[in-house]
């Protein structure tokens, strides 16, 4: 059986492995195939003990709405089906993981728990609590970053230019083909099939933000990747900054929910003839995305303006009293009630489709800074709206995207101007130079 690279694995407590079943606590990587954590759990189970996959469903999670729960639960239902075909048990626990999981592993006398690397505070806290409460090993495996986040560097990087050479140096070692997940050799305990209808009716989340039309699940994610690589990739470099062209991959929600391994996408894209589009897709998928994990891993307050570089905090504070030409509240922004038809169209694209084009996200967040009472308020409104409506929200990319736009993270100082100080500025004139603003407003306004 192929071995998972030890550089992906971190032991989170000091307990020793015992002879019971191996539990894979699925969390960030919600997929059966191309999943290093699950593969490592399988490796530990070998032909000696059963492997049981557990997912802990929390009744509410960082303001997630029905839009997010629906996408996740549909994907999870497919996970259960695919696991059972391979002979593995799947168990859905309801409640806080740091309460339900220790009780579960103790009941079944598990031998070890393997889980996913995730730099977000709440996940790190759960893992720390679980690690303390169980008397068997808790092992974290990085299945999200191609070059594992804990290995590539041990500090917060200044920006793409400093992390890029470190990732590129290690990429040939880590961008490897995934081994296949072997079917179960030892029969599980026969846990009952999950009653998904009952699960759906038991969750109590905000239903005013409803599901969108992106098809959830691992097979849909693979189909979307195939389609992008076959038909979309060629035009990526040229058209990716035009929101009307819809030329980006639209795979971010699949990556966010772990329904698609970024490493699978990188392998498929890298196998295409080299060119500007391949390079620029790999730059976003690998360098920019892994830079976000690096930032959150080494910056526990990744959603606060205190996490912005000193020069950015200073310039924003020097301009905090500047007169704002327009001033809007959270509700004004949420309901797209600004004076700008372009901004309202971007907000409306996000609210109705669960996805705002990447170029528009930058413009959208920078205008929230320009039209809010303070930079702190702007950051909190940006994150709240992003996490509520974007299907890919609550992601390191989102926190870093907001802090890049408002707090100069991974950027440098630019020409000084009102409100922004030396934070990079964007305006509608710039958008008009890049794409047909009126067509975008007609479509989404
Ligand atoms: C204010 C703001 C908020 C954002 N919120 C989120 C968010 O909540 N979730 C999220 O996944 N991304 C977020 N981004 C980053 C980026 O805009 C999206 O990842 C991208 O638009 C998703 O569309 P796509 O999959 O078609 O991207 P593509 O252009 O096809 O890119 C491929 C992949 O590369 C990664 N990527 C692309 N751009 C970036 C970037 N700037 N930083 C880091 N990784 C990137 C993503 O994983 C993306 O799916 C945000 C950016 C900003 C400026």
Q: 362-376: per-residue pLDDT in tens?
A: 999 999 999 999 999
More confident residue, 59 or 348: 348
- How far does residue 397's CA lie from ligand 1's centre (Å)? 6
With 70 as the cut, is the pLDDT of residue 1 above it?
Answer: no
Which atom of ligand 1 lies closest to the CA of 382?
1
**pLDDT score recorded for residue 225:** 98
Instruction: From 299, 324, 349, give the residue that closes a domain.
Output: 299
- How far does residue 326's CA lie from ligand 1's centre (Å)? 28
Cβ of 402 below 6 Å from ligand 1 = yes
Average pLDDT over residues 156-168: 98
Cβ of 290 below 6 Å from ligand 1 = no
CATH number at residue 108: 3.40.50.620
Chain centroid to CA 351:
19
- How far does residue 355's CA lie from ligand 1's centre (Å)? 10
Cβ of 211 below 6 Å from ligand 1 = no
Cβ of 285 below 6 Å from ligand 1 = yes
In percent, the amount of the chain with pLDDT more than 90 equals 95
With 90 as the cut, is the pLDDT of residue 140 above it?
Answer: yes
pLDDT band at 18 (very low <50, low <70, confident <90, very high): confident
Instruction: From 299, 325, 359, give the residue that closes a domain.
Output: 299
- How far does residue 115's CA lie from ligand 1's centre (Å)? 25
User: In this structure, are 13 and 107 located in the same domain?
Assistant: yes
User: In this structure, are 321 and 398 located in the same domain?
Assistant: yes
User: In this structure, are 278 and 135 located in the same domain?
Assistant: no
- Whose CA is closest to atom 10 on ligand 1? 397
CATH number at residue 165: 1.25.40.80
Least confident of 60-74, 125-139, 416-430: 60-74
Strand partners, 52: 23, 89
Average pLDDT over residues 91-108: 97
- Whose CA is closest to atom 34 on ligand 1? 285
**pLDDT score recorded for residue 60:** 81
Instruction: From 236, 266, 299, give the residue that closes a domain.
Output: 299
User: In this structure, are 235 and 132 located in the same domain?
Assistant: no
- How far does residue 358's CA lie from ligand 1's centre (Å)? 6
pLDDT band at 399 (very low <50, low <70, confident <90, very high): very high
User: In this structure, are 135 and 17 located in the same domain?
Assistant: yes
pLDDT band at 62 (very low <50, low <70, confident <90, very high): confident
Cβ of 255 below 6 Å from ligand 1 = yes
**pLDDT score recorded for residue 249:** 98
User: In this structure, are 117 and 163 located in the same domain?
Assistant: no
Chain centroid to CA 350:
17
In a domain, 204, yes or no: no
- Whose CA is closest to atom 42 on ligand 1? 288
- Whose CA is closest to atom 18 on ligand 1? 358
- How far does residue 41's CA lie from ligand 1's centre (Å)? 30
Cβ of 35 below 6 Å from ligand 1 = no
**pLDDT score recorded for residue 334:** 98
In a domain, 203, yes or no: no
Average pLDDT over residues 142-146: 98
**pLDDT score recorded for residue 204:** 87
Cβ of 392 below 6 Å from ligand 1 = yes
Cβ of 289 below 6 Å from ligand 1 = yes
Average pLDDT over residues 221-229: 98
- How far does residue 140's CA lie from ligand 1's centre (Å)? 25
The total number of structural domains in the chain stands at 3
Domain extent, residue 258, equals 145-178+216-299
- How far does residue 95's CA lie from ligand 1's centre (Å)? 30
Write the CB contacts of 427 (distance below 8 Å, at least 6 apart in sequence).
Answer: none
User: In this structure, are 254 and 329 located in the same domain?
Assistant: no
Q: What average pLDDT does the structure give for the chain?
A: 97
pLDDT tens readout for residues 238-270: 999 999 998 999 999 999 999 999 999 999 999
With 80 as the cut, is the pLDDT of residue 2 above it?
Answer: no
pLDDT band at 49 (very low <50, low <70, confident <90, very high): very high
Average pLDDT over residues 352-363: 98
Average pLDDT over residues 210-229: 98
Residue 136 phi, psi dihedral angles, 5° rounding: -125, 165
């Amino acid at each position: 059986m192929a071995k998972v690279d030890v550089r992906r694995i971190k032991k989170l407590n000091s307990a020793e492995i015992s002879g019971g079943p191996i539990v894979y606590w699925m969390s960030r990587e919600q997929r059966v195939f191309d999943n290093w954590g699950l593969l490592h759990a399988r490796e530990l189970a070998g032909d000696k003990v059963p492997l049981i996959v557990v997912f802990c469903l929390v009744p509410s999670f960082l303001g997630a709405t029905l839009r997010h729960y629906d996408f996740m639960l549909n994907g999870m239902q497919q996970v259960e089906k695919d696991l059972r075909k391979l002979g593995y048990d799947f168990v859905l626990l309801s409640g806080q993981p740091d309460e339900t999981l220790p009780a579960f592993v103790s009941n079944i006398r598990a031998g070890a728990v393997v889980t996913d690397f995730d730099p977000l505070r709440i996940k790190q806290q759960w893992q720390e609590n679980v690690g303390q409460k169980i008397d068997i090993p808790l092992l974290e495996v990085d299945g999200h970053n191609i070059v594992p986040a804990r290995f590539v560097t041990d500090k917060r990087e200044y920006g793409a230019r400093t992390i890029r050479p470190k990732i590129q140096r290690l990429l040939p070692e880590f961008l490897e083909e995934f081994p296949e997940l072997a079917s179960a050799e030892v029969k599980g305990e026969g846990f009952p099939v999950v009653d998904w209808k009952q699960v759906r009716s038991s969750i109590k989340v905000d239903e005013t933000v409803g599901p969108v039309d992106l098809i959830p699940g691992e097979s849909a994610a693979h189909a979307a990747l195939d389609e992008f690589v076959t038909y979309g990739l060629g035009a990526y470099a040229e058209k990716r900054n035009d929101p009307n062209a819809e030329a980006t991959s639209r795979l971010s929600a699949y990556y966010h929910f772990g329904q698609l391994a970024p490493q699978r996408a990188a392998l498929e894209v890298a196998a295409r003839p080299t060119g500007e589009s391949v390079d620029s897709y790999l730059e976003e998928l690998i360098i920019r995305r892994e830079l976000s994990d690096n930032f959150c891993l080494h910056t526990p307050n990744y959603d606060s303006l205190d996490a912005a570089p000193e020069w950015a905090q200073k310039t924003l504070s020097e301009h905090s009293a500047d007169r704002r030409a327009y001033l809007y509240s959270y509700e004004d922004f949420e309901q797209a009630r600004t004076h700008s038809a372009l901004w309202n169209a971007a907000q409306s694209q996000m609210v109705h489709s669960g996805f705002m084009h990447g170029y528009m996200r930058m413009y959208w967040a920078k205008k929230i800074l320009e039209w809010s009472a303070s930079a702190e308020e702007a950051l909190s409104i940006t994150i709240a709206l992003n996490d509520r409506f974007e299907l890919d929200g609550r992601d390191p990319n989102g926190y870093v995207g907001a802090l890049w736009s408002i707090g100069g993270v991974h950027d440098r100082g630019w020409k000084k101007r009102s409100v922004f100080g030396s934070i990079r500025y964007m305006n509608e004139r710039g958008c008009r130079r890049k794409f047909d603003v009126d067509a975008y407003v007609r479509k989404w306004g």
